[in-house]
Amino acid sequence: MPTMNVTQARNELFSVMNSVLENERIVVTSKKGNMVLISEEYWEEIVETIYILSDPDMSGAIKEARETPTSELKVFDWENIL
């Protein structure tokens, strides 16, 4: 992840924003501490992942699915969904 200090980030805000919107994460450092800039889309993905993994039933289903051999998986017919 690229790192820059807060003054650099402020001076290059438009460029920093474009980089972040292209899914790059940027660390901004200051005397008070550091922060990571991420896009809203990436943030929403993180929140969704945390939500799914915090549900014991869902995490159990995910674990079970990951352990199932692909030869045993059912094929979903997307064309005849309705």
30-39 pLDDT, tens per residue? 999 999 999 9
pLDDT average per 10 residues of sequence, the chain (82 residues): 96 96 95 97 95 86 87 83 74
Strand order of the β-sheet with 3-5 is 3-5, 26-30, 33-37
pLDDT score recorded for residue 37 = 97
Structural domain boundaries of the chain?
3-38, 41-69
What is the pLDDT at residue 15?
Answer: 96
What pLDDT score does 31 carry?
A: 96
Q: In this predicted structure, what is the pLDDT of residue 77?
A: 83
pLDDT value at residue 52: 87
